[in-house]
Amino acid sequence: MLRVCCRQQWYALSDPAAEEALYDSDAMRRFAGLKLGDDAIPDETTFLNFRHLLERHDLTRATFEAVTVYMRGQGILPREGRLVGATLIDAPSSSKNKQRARDPEMSSTRKGNAWSFGMTAHVGVDIDSGLVHTLEASTAKVHHSQKFDDLLHGDAQSGFGDKGYVSADREAAFAGPGKVWGVMRKAPRGGPLHPIDAQINRIISKVRARIEHPFRVIERQFGHVKTRYRGLAKTRAQLFTLFALGNLFLVRRRLLA
């Protein structure tokens, strides 16, 4: 069942589609350890009940943490430098459903001139490997700077982020020897950005580019561009699975070698 759950996330399959794939694809059955005619093929209700079991006991978080521990054991996930970032995940805004309402745990926010309705995934990424080591989820209207401390855990020697994480207090905490404050510099209100700050931002941007890799895997490889379930709890549980699998995908060649 856990293998089927992983397969659903890889291919963005609904419960009925996951059941149909087990009948149609020999590769899918072999991956799940099932034989047509010898084993009972789980139906869509079984998939639903298994997912609820994972959510109820917070087992997707445990899976994510187990993958993180495994990565550290392989020497792939050091704990020195951190990249922090967030991505908006849209939720269905239609009210044409049984409740005739949008998901009450999602909210609207504006990025630039565009409005979005949904949630935000906040991640802490290892600066060397580009793997996600910490994950938080919130409704979209929660500013990502409020999750900064949760993503760093206080043991990082360097912290990198975009302009939304600017804070004099946090910058002072990274002023010690061997520490690096890598948050993008902001121009003073009503004035241009100093040329030195612009040069620093270019350097920081090259480091921060790595944080986009896990998001690309989730959105492009796994096709997760919109929330599939209602409520933050269910969506958070799915994100733990997605980012655990995404970490394995990013270093698959190193692990196979």
The CATH number of whichever domain residue 113 belongs to comes to 3.30.420
pLDDT of 81 over the 80 cut: no
Specify the pLDDT at position 190: 81
Least Cα distance to 235 among 150, 119, 144 occurs for 119
111 in a domain, yes or no?
yes
What mean pLDDT comes out for the span 217-237?
93
Q: Are residues 114 and 238 in the same domain?
A: yes
158 in a domain, yes or no?
yes
| Residues comprising the chain, all counted | 257
Specify the pLDDT at position 20: 95
Q: Are residues 161 and 46 in the same domain?
A: no
Q: Are residues 102 and 212 in the same domain?
A: yes
Q: Are residues 182 and 218 in the same domain?
A: yes
What mean pLDDT comes out for the span 151-180?
82
Specify the pLDDT at position 157: 79
Q: Are residues 94 and 194 in the same domain?
A: yes
Q: Are residues 21 and 138 in the same domain?
A: no
Q: Are residues 104 and 14 in the same domain?
A: no
pLDDT of 167 over the 80 cut: yes
Enclosing domain of residue 17 = 2-56
- Read off the pLDDT band of 223 (50, 70, 90): very high
Q: Are residues 52 and 141 in the same domain?
A: no
CA angle 78, 81, 86 (to 5 degrees): 110
What mean pLDDT comes out for the span 16-36?
93
129-140 tens-digit pLDDT: 889 999 999 999
Looking up tokens 């989730």, which residue turns up? Answer: 218
Q: How many CA atoms lie within 13 A of 185 on its CB side?
A: 15
Q: Are residues 161 and 105 in the same domain?
A: yes
214 touches 247 (CB < 8 A): yes
pLDDT of 154 over the 60 cut: no
188 in a domain, yes or no?
yes
116 in a domain, yes or no?
yes
153 in a domain, yes or no?
yes
CA dist., res. 232 & res. 142, Å (int): 13
Q: Are residues 93 and 218 in the same domain?
A: yes
Residues 6+ apart with CB under 8 A from 96: none
CA dist., res. 218 & res. 204, Å (int): 24
What mean pLDDT comes out for the span 92-119?
86
250 in a domain, yes or no?
yes
User: Number of structural domains, the chain?
Assistant: 2
Specify the pLDDT at position 152: 75
- Average pLDDT over the chain, rounded to an integer: 90
What is the model's pTM?
Answer: 0.89
65 in a domain, yes or no?
no
Percentage with pLDDT > 70 across the chain: 97
66 in a domain, yes or no?
no
Q: Are residues 9 and 43 in the same domain?
A: yes
What mean pLDDT comes out for the span 235-255?
95
Q: Are residues 203 and 148 in the same domain?
A: yes
